[in-house]
């Protein structure tokens, strides 16, 4: 029997190529599952809801029961979490206060000083990781490159001492694994591991924040710890939660964009060649990737807090909303020839970083990391080829990306 479309989104069978399923979903822009969940799959409707103050990101406002097991998304304030919800999961005014204070410690919007200053340092991290790739004839790009890079970048952004980076990687790995349950894994054990990692990370960050309060440095954690006035100061708990949010939100997402990026370039060798010859093409490639293969495919955490008329339906107050940016980005009513990867596209306002008040805070850093990664991989891997296509995917339907990406190449120089 065919499963209802909403179940098919979660079905692992559709992970490698969810796009034909999304085309079917878009025939009904707003789909009611018959219980309390509404799935929105078309570009304009998703965009409108992301800007709608009647849509909440605070799970505590939901009145329907989740029947799809999407309540615990690990590490970010989900059910059973040890830290309070971070601003990703809060509404105004709390969201705006926390985001504004955090923004100040990041630098001016669009070209944050900290991100620009980090470019040389990140380039050195990329080079070091590529130098360290062991070419045994079968390189796993995820393990050897995409996975370690973003955690190192967040550590440098926050100002985590180098000698502690390895511990940070371990916590980040556990929290990321909590988003990606393995078949047959015991959920109670997994939740316990997640909670332990959250507690250890929280304890570690608390210590570091106290230290930076008394001896500030020129890093983001010092800025988060300090604030500059009554309204501007984060409590220690808020600073911990925010630092943990930056780690979690900036980890798996960036891993997947880099990996999806190499996969897409290897499937489009003429674009890979153009990038090798002209690194200035990188920003366009990254933007088109965020449309074509966005790491955040599904946002299952929104709740209607008033009745909303949209797409010919009324979504009742308290209902759960699943927005599907992975589908909106391929909506032919918005993008011409949407299933074609085309970095020369002029019009590319994708939903890959979301939109509205929760639009990705780390976008400048994510763009810079992915550009540097793709430029250097394109230049240094000679005659790279995919050894398995499609690659094995992670189970996660929200943050979608390959678990491994096996490559062969003639040389790494
Ligand atoms: C929010 C995607 C990297 C920090 C978001 C949202 C998306 C997104 C779609 C909106 C979520 C929503 O509306 O519910 C991505 C992608 C990334 C990436 C695809 C990498 C390619 C990063 C990085 C950081 C970061 C590197 C940290 C430095 C955040 C934060 C939020 C957020 C803090 C919450 C913003 C808010 O609620 O106001 N991201 N992100 N992200 N992202 Fe990213």
From the CB of 88, is ligand 1 less than 6 Å away? yes
Name the residue with the closest Cα to ligand 1, atom 34. 88
From the CB of 90, is ligand 1 less than 6 Å away? no
Q: What is the phi-psi region of residue 301: left when phi exceeds 0, alpha when psi lies from -120 to 50, beta otherwise?
A: alpha
Distance 301 CA to ligand 1 centre (A): 14
Cα(400)–Cα(205) distance, rounded to whole angstroms?
Answer: 28
Of all atoms in ligand 1, which is nearest to the CA of residue 57?
Answer: 14
Q: Are strands 320-323 and 37-40 parallel, antiparallel or unpaired?
A: parallel
The long-range contacts involving 279-286, CB below 8 angstroms and separated by at least 24 positions, are 279/375, 279/379, 281/343, 282/371, 282/374, 282/375, 283/367, 283/371, 284/343, 284/344, 285/261, 285/343, 285/371, 285/374, 286/257, 286/261, 286/367, 286/370, 286/371, 286/374
The dihedral over CA atoms of 10, 13, 16, 22, expressed in degrees to the nearest 10, equals: -50
Alpha-carbon Rg for the chain, nearest whole angstrom, is 21
Token pair for residue 7?
């179940």
Q: For residue 325, how many other CB atoms are within 10 A of its CB?
A: 27
From the CB of 254, is ligand 1 less than 6 Å away? yes
Cα(370)–Cα(289) distance, rounded to whole angstroms?
Answer: 10
From the CB of 358, is ligand 1 less than 6 Å away? yes
Locus of tokens 């674009």:
271
Cα(260)–Cα(392) distance, rounded to whole angstroms?
Answer: 12
Q: Please, are residues 76 and 175 in contact by the beta-carbon 8 Å criterion?
A: no
Per-residue pLDDT of the chain (413 residues; tens, 9 = 90+): 467 888 999 999 999 999 999 999 999 999 999 989 999 999 999 999 999 999 999 989 988 887 887 754 433 444 445 778 999 999 999 999 999 989 888 866 556 788 888 999 999 999 999 999 988 899 999 999 999 999 999 999 999 998 999 898 899 888 877 777 666 778 888 888 889 999 999 999 999 999 999 999 888 899 888 865 566 788 889 999 999 999 889 999 999 999 999 999 999 999 999 999 999 999 999 999 999 999 999 999 999 999 999 999 999 999 999 999 999 999 999 999 999 999 999 999 999 999 999 999 999 999 999 999 999 999 999 999 999 999 999 988 999 999 999 999 999 98
From the CB of 362, is ligand 1 less than 6 Å away? yes
Q: What is the phi-psi region of residue 96: left when phi exceeds 0, alpha when psi lies from -120 to 50, beta otherwise?
A: alpha
Mutate to test the pocket of ligand 1, among 118, 327, 362 (most ligand atoms within 8 A of CB): 362
β-pair partners for 31: 39
From the CB of 149, is ligand 1 less than 6 Å away? no
Of all atoms in ligand 1, which is nearest to the CA of residue 355?
Answer: 13
Residues in the chain: 413
Name the residue with the closest Cα to ligand 1, atom 7. 353
Name 127's Cβ contacts closer than 8 Å, sequence gap at least 6: 376
Instruction: Provide DSSP, 243-292.
Output: HHHHHHHTTHHHHHHHHHHHHHHHHSHHHHHHHHH-GGGHHHHHHHHHHH
Q: How far is CA 41 from CA 51, 296, 342, 355, 377, in A?
A: 16, 13, 22, 15, 34
From the CB of 245, is ligand 1 less than 6 Å away? yes
Domains along the chain?
A: 5-412 (1.10.630.10)
From the CB of 360, is ligand 1 less than 6 Å away? yes
Supply the pLDDT for residue 78.
44
Q: Please, are residues 225 and 239 in contact by the beta-carbon 8 Å criterion?
A: yes
Name 138's Cβ contacts closer than 8 Å, sequence gap at least 6: 387, 406, 407, 408
Distance 251 CA to ligand 1 centre (A): 10
Q: Please, are residues 403 and 287 in contact by the beta-carbon 8 Å criterion?
A: no
Q: Please, are residues 371 and 363 in contact by the beta-carbon 8 Å criterion?
A: no
Mutate to test the pocket of ligand 1, among 258, 323, 361 (most ligand atoms within 8 A of CB): 361
Token pair for residue 112?
């944050």
What is the pTM for the complete model shown?
A: 0.94
Distance 253 CA to ligand 1 centre (A): 8
Cα(307)–Cα(312) distance, rounded to whole angstroms?
Answer: 13
Cα(228)–Cα(241) distance, rounded to whole angstroms?
Answer: 19
From the CB of 250, is ligand 1 less than 6 Å away? yes
Name the residue with the closest Cα to ligand 1, atom 35. 358
């Amino acid at each position: 029997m065919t499963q209802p479309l909403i179940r098919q989104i979660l079905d692992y069978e559709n992970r490698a190529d969810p796009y034909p399923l999304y085309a079917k979903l878009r025939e009904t822009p707003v789909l009611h599952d018959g219980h309390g969940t509404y799935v929105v799959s078309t570009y304009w409707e998703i965009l409108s809801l992301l800007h709608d103050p009647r849509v909440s990101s605070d799970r505590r406002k939901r009145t329907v029961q989740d029947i799809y097991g999407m309540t615990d998304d690990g590490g970010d304030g989900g059910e059973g979490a040890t830290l309070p919800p971070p601003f990703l999961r809060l509404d105004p005014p709390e969201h705006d206060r926390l985001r504004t204070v955090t923004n100040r410690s990041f630098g001016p919007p669009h070209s944050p000083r900290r991100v620009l200053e980090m470019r040389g340092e990140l380039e050195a991290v990329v080079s070091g990781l590529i130098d360290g790739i062991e070419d045994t004839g079968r390189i796993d790009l995820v393990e050897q490159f995409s996975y370690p890079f973003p955690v190192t970048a967040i550590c440098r952004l926050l100002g985590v001492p180098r000698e502690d980076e390895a511990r940070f990687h371990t916590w980040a790995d556990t929290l990321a694994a909590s988003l990606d349950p393995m078949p047959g894994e015991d959920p109670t054990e997994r939740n316990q591991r997640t909670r332990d990692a959250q507690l250890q990370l929280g304890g570690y960050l608390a210590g570091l924040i106290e230290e930076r309060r008394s001896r500030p440095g020129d890093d983001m954690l010092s800025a988060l710890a300090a604030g500059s006035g009554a309204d501007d100061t984060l409590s220690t708990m808020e600073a911990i939660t925010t630092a943990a949010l930056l780690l979690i939100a900036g980890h798996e997402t960036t891993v997947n964009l880099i990996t999806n990026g190499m996969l897409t370039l290897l499937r489009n060798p003429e674009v890979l060649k153009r990038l090798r010859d002209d690194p200035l093409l990188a920003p366009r490639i990254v933007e088109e990737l965020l449309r074509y293969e966005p790491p955040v495919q599904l946002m299952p955490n929104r709740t209607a807090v008033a009745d909303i008329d949209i797409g010919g339906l009324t979504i009742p107050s308290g209902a759960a909303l699943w927005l599907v940016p992975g589908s909106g980005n391929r909506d032919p009513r918005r993008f011409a020839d949407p299933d074609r990867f085309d970095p020369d596209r002029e019009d590319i306002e994708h939903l890959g970083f979301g939109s509205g008040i929760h639009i990705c805070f780390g976008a400048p850093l994510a763009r810079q990391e992915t550009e540097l990664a793709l430029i250097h991989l394109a230049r240094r891997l000679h005659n790279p080829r995919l050894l398995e296509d499609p690659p094995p995917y992670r189970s996660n339907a929200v943050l979608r990306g390959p678990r491994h990406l096996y490559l062969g190449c003639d040389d790494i120089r």
